[in-house]
Structure 1
Amino acid sequence: MTTDDVLAQVFLNSFEQHKPQLLGRRIWLACSGGRDSLSLAHLCQQLFNAGKLPFLPQLLHINHGMQQANAAWADQVSTWAQQNQMPCQVLKINLVKKTEQEARQARYEAIIGVMNHQDVLILGHHQDDQVETLLMRLFNGAGVNGLSGMKEWSIKSSQNQQGTQKNIVLWRPLLTISRQQITQYADNKGLTYIDDPTNVALQKSNLNPDQLNDRAWLRSVLLPHITQRYPKAKQAIARTGQLMQEASVILDEQSSLDLSQSIINDRAFCSVLDINQLTRLSTARQSFLIHSWLAPTATDLPPSRRLVEEVLSLAHRKDSNHQTCLSWDSGRYQYQIRRYQHKLYRLWDSWEQWLQLAPTTHDIHIDVEEEIAPCLLLKPLSTEFEWSVQGLTGLIAELQQQLTVLIDAKAETDREDIKSIAWSKETKLIFQPLPRTQKIALPGRVGRKSGKKLLQALDVPSFMRQSVVLCSLQLSPLCSEQQSIPLLIITPEQTMVLQSPFSQSIAQLVEDKALVAELHDL
């Protein structure tokens, strides 16, 4: 089989593997004009013309202005695409810092900017690129996931300033093909490709080794020495990357299982881990779980080993100090890592700040026949979060019915909590920040508590204590000695029905989800 046939077969095999995900999507191809991307573009054109490929990708070329020749390269790619009847779009970007890392990030941002959600971008990465990537990650101390290298099929996520997330697919069909095979293909087809002087071999450039970027140095200096001693080193390194990918899948599956068994509540702005469940795992599994928990999405940067160790140290502390706060910038969100009792919290900075805003006080008269708003905001509506109570109509109807029954039963009972109840036009439902001095009787517990002891009994973390709402039934002082009957306590994490003559019926509303407190990030 010729080199041309090998490339075509490898590409078609990859296409068949991902065909269900490819059909119906728009396909793009990142084309720098180098031998790799130009050969891939030519291969797609040939397979399309032969009826073996059902799509012809649109080429995307980035002019990042880092070199004087960039404009000429853009013209060269555009001319080639026009001559070969392939659609092509040139994107010009302006770099603040002209570094390889910034250029790479800016290229992806520009490309994602013109692509639609779930579009597919074909990349010309090959086996030699994979080997260089693995070595660079090895020298930077990467773990199993990092040493799995580039994946043939992966998701790239981006978020705009409005917070809308866009996911595109990166498809690398030629990862098993060597640079030498691609060069042979390009030469066989007479392709006039571009040689970037920062990437070409040392002997073909006028640069000394110290002037080369890291990838070019690996390619031109280190790998020739390695392959001279170990001729099949590239294939072996690439094979190790494949084995690491398989190991990474196994670790991810185990970590997902561990996480599902340890997670108490998992929302983007507030995720809670059960420390008791976490510490039952082996040390290695604890570390891997925390690593995954700190970076919940593909767009989050991986946390450092030091941060993972600090979080584990926080989880294993035996003292009662709950003031420690670890900061973590994932690249997507600013997080705080906190502990309270036997729980670990991963919080958005913005949510922790929102928690300190005082709840809104609402008075709702229950004797007035008027339409009740379906949604009662517990805090002023912000640009990021909405906290509300749904189902007030049912709650008020239940209170009206229960009050009627209790008032009718007053003469036939010795219960003091019922004998003091009266209903007037001044009777109202009040939602307010929990008064720290008010003594509350919790269900199933003896006595009443207030202030810090009450919040501790409710298991409310210190950083949430500004966001505790008391719902009570306010009776007219002219008709009753008992002016207020606490009904509910609502926190961002729970709704608790308090001991009262109405507790049974209210508890049924909560259980049936006819009365719910909801917290959303907007």
Structure 2
Amino acid sequence: MTLDHTANLEQALLSSFTHHKQQLLGRRVWLACSGGRDSLSLAHLCQHLFKEGKLPFLPQLLHINHGMQQANAAWAEQVLQWAEQNNLPCQVLKINLIKKTEQEARQARYEAMMSVMNHQDVLILGHHQDDQVETLLMRLFNGAGVNGLRGMKDWSSKKSQAQEGSQKSIFLWRPLLTVSRQQITQYANNENLNYIDDPTNVAWQSRGSGNEFDQNQLNDRAWLRSVLLPHITQRYPKAKQAIARTGQLMQEASVILNEQSKADLSQSLMTDRPYCSVLDINQLTELSTARQSALIHSWLAPSATELPPSRRLVEEVLSLVHRKDSDHQTCLYWDSGVYQYQIRRYQHKLYRLWQSWEQWLQLPPATQQVNLDSQSEIAPRFSLKPSNTSFEWSLTGLSNLTFGIQQQLILSSNTNTAVETGLELKSAKLLFQPLPRTKKIALPGRVGRKSGKKLLQALDLPSFMRPSVVLCSIQLSSQVAEFPLLLITPERILALQSQFAPSIQQLIEDNNLLSEVRNL
């Protein structure tokens, strides 16, 4: 019996190590050790295989002292003593929980361990087949779909919740997902491991002369383990293996669905920036209803650190997609746990916006001028809007624009074809200002001039972007009216009808004149 259980654990760990050998190469390995039978058995097994030369690393143990129970300090000392006796490096990390919930404790544990780990280090976890079964059942009872029912992966990545600039990513490795709790318990007992039993996970409470369930003292996971699963396995002895197998099948199905969803998304995306992503509704509605739903689900939470959207939100977004009226004011709000989003529609486009980005768009651009005869060097980035802590909007290539206009003015003056005779280059300047709603503008390739709402509609600009339109004009002298040259939005630059239009358009097409937004 001893050899069988030892062989099962060894085989599972070595098989998983072989499968992930390339991913482990060159990375530092840590092990989350609570001192319970699962993590302590895994630590003991790693040490055993390292001594035998079957594992090329000896993990460093990390123990978390939650401070939630009186025994936490004693448990930390017990883990430290065991690690010292077995020549394993170990650190104890203390955390202070504000909300003493299971979810809060789990996230705090990860954040504490990631604080001492390096970027892209590996953290081994002692999760096993019974943990997987409990996870699948909890997600099933919460109405999870295919992605939720795939359960825990044996290899995955996790990002810290720190600010973007200092965000750290690590890999989580669960090599014992094919091993049962019973096999681990047998291994721990056979090796005489002095493991810790957390009372919040213990199913039986002593009462008088007998043992009875104290269900009120159990959390959800412990209730599943202690109350529900014994009834299920009594009727279906192989239920745990079957449920775990279903999780594996769901993982395979999830891969297929995600690949299809990514392919559909790539066909429908028009713009994809973190702060502003745009879908082509015409492309989206060519898909089946199920594929539309899957695409919207993944689009609403683009990163692994974000919460998945609810079914209700996906349905509300799809309802917005299929609206037939001309109302473009509807706004859906979505908090992914990382970013606050607005979901909006305009014409045949669907927008996913950071709320901070939409608020930034409402800030007016700066009013400023640039003298064309200035001898001073123009900065590579000409700021179009007062910067704040979130975004910076600038025009790159302004020096190319001014140089081209200067050359064209000189040429026009030499050939007596200037817009107004007697003009001198030294009096010319470029003016940048928020687009005046009353100014009539001639768009390229269009007959007549437009102003106000009709102009903005012709530009295909949604209402939330309209405050961030800059008009660049040239004024050849103080006695001459301004001539509009181009319109600048955070998304593009449009050359207007003027004698300078061909050269400006060439600068735009060659990417020598760009409107750029940077997320700071």
Structure 1 pair 284/85, CA: closer, same or farther in 2 (3 Å)? same
Gaps of 5+ in 1: 412-416
User: Which residue identity lines up with residue 461 of structure 1 in the other structure?
Assistant: P
**What's the offset of the Cα at 1:418?**
4.3
Partner of residue 68 from structure 1, selected from 67, 70, 78 = 70
CA distance in structure 1 between the partners assigned to 2:275 and 2:164 by the alignment: 17
1:510 deviates by: 1.0
Shift of 1:375: 1.3
Partner of 1:501: 499
- Residue 163 of structure 1 deviates from its aligned partner by 4.5
Q: Following the alignment from structure 1 to structure 2, what is the Cα–Cα distance between the partners of residues 288 and 325? A: 21
Q: Please list the CA deviations of residues 237-288 of structure 1 after superposition, one character each: whole Å capped at 9, or x if unmatched.
A: 0000000000000000000001101111111111111111111111111111
3-state secondary structure, aligned to 2:153: coil
Q: What SS does structure 1 have at the residue aligned with 2:127? A: coil
Partner of 2:433: 432
- Tell me how many residue pairs correspond in the alignment: 514
Is 2:331 the partner of 1:325? yes
Shift of 1:159: 3.0
What is the CA deviation profile of residues 143-186 of structure 1, one whole-angstrom value per residue up to 9, with x for unaligned ones? 00000000000111123246532111110000000111111111
Alignment match of 2:487 (pick from 467, 489, 493) = 489
How well do the aligned residues superpose, as a CA RMSD in angstroms?
Answer: 1.5
Preserved CA contact (<8 Å) 1:410 1:418: no
Does the 8 Å contact 1:29/1:121 carry over to 2? yes
Segment of structure 1 superposing worse, 145-154 or 385-394: 385-394
Select the residue among 132, 135, 140 that pairs with 1:130.
132
For 2:70 and 2:259, how far apart are their aligned partners in 1?
48
Are the counterparts in 2 of residues 95 and 106 from structure 1 also a CA contact under 8 Å? yes
The 3-state SS of whatever aligns with 2:287 is coil
- Corresponding letter in the other structure for 1:119: D
Letter matched to residue 204 of structure 2? L
2:230 to 205, 217, 224: 224
Distance 2:375 2:93 in 1: 63
Cα deviation, residue 421, structure 1: 8.9
| Deviation digits for residues 400-457 of structure 1 (CA, Å, limit 9, x no counterpart) | 111122233445xxxxx94679444220011111111111111111111111110110
Number of the residue aligned with 1:521: 519
Q: Which segment drifts farther, 97-106 or 332-341?
A: 97-106
**SS of structure 2 residue aligned to 1:198:** helix
Please name the residue that 1:467 is paired with.
468
Q: Deviations over 1:328-369 (max 9, x none)?
A: 110001111111111111111111111111101221111232
Shift of 1:203: 6.2
> Secondary structure of 1:470's match?
strand
User: Is residue 6 from structure 1 mapped to residue 12 from structure 2 by the alignment?
Assistant: no
What is the 5 A alignment of 1:18-29? 18-29=20-31
The answer as to whether partners of 2:492 and 2:514 remain within 8 angstroms in 1 is no
8 Å contact kept, 1:410–1:419? no
Task: Please state whether the residue corresponding to 1:345 is helix, strand or coil.
Answer: strand
Instruction: Please state if 1:208 is matched with 2:211.
Output: no
Please show how residues 282-301 of structure 1 align to structure 2 within 5 Å.
282-301=288-307
- Spell out, residue by residue over 1:442-491, the C-alpha distance to the aligned partner (whole angstroms, 9 max, x if none): 1111111111110110011101111001111111144x4xx222111111
* 1:240 paired to 2:246: yes
Report Cα offsets for 1:270-312 as digits up to 9, x if no partner. 1111111111111111111111011000110011111111111
**Residues 149-228 of structure 1 mapped to structure 2, 5 A cutoff:** 149-161=151-163, 163-202=165-204, 208-228=214-234
Cα distance in 2 between the residues matched to 1:402 and 1:286: 52
Cα distance in 1 for partners of 2:357, 2:471 equals 21
The residue number in structure 2 matching 1:414 is: none
Verify: 1:450 aligned to 2:456, yes or no.
Answer: no
| Corresponding residue of 1:311 | 317
Q: How far did residue 210 of structure 1 move?
A: 2.6
Equivalent-residue separation in structure 1 for 2:486 and 2:6 (angstroms)? 73
Q: Distance in 2 between matches of 1:421 and 1:180?
A: 96
TM-score (norm 1): 0.96
Letter of the structure 2 residue corresponding to residue 298 of structure 1? A
Distance 2:311 2:406 in 1: 58
TM-score of the superposed pair, with normalisation by structure 2: 0.96
Q: Map of 1:329-348 to 2, 5 A cutoff?
A: 329-348=335-354
- Secondary structure, counterpart of 1:293 in structure 2: helix
**Contact kept in structure 1, 2:203 and 2:213, CA below 8 Å:** no
Query: What amino acid sits opposite 1:50 in the alignment?
Result: E
Task: Tell me which amino acid in the other structure corresponds to 1:252.
Answer: N
Amino acid at match of 1:35: R
> CA separation in 1, counterparts of 2:215 and 2:172?
32
Q: Match for residue 252 of structure 1?
A: 258
Contact 1:202 1:209 survives alignment (8 Å) = no
Amino acid aligned to 1:397: F
In 2, Cα distance between equivalents of 1:297 and 1:236: 31
- SS of equivalent to 1:156: strand
Give the whole-Å Cα distance in 1 for the aligned partners of 2:389 and 2:60: 38
Whole-angstrom distance in 2 between the partners of 1:23 and 1:73: 33
Check conservation: 2:491, 2:515, Cα contact below 8 A. Answer: no
Q: 2:111, 2:161 within 8 Å by CA — same for their partners in 1?
A: no
In structure 1, C-alpha distance between the alignment counterparts of 2:433 and 2:9, rounded to whole Å: 69
Aligned counterparts, 1:387-426, within 5 A: 387-410=393-416, 418=419, 422-426=423-427
Distance in 1 (alpha carbons) for counterparts of 2:219 and 2:376: 73
Give the SS at the match of 2:168: strand
Q: Which among 376, 382, 386 is matched to residue 370 of structure 1?
A: 376
Cα displacement (A) at 1:72: 0.8
> d(CA) in 1 for partners of 2:472 and 2:82?
71
Match of 1:51 in 2: 53
Distance (whole Å) between structure 2 residues aligned to residue 231 and residue 239 of structure 1: 14
Question: CA distance change for structure 1 residues 26 and 286 in 2, over 3 Å: closer, same or farther?
Answer: same
Amino acid at match of 1:223: L
| Consecutive unaligned residues in structure 2, runs of 5 or more | none
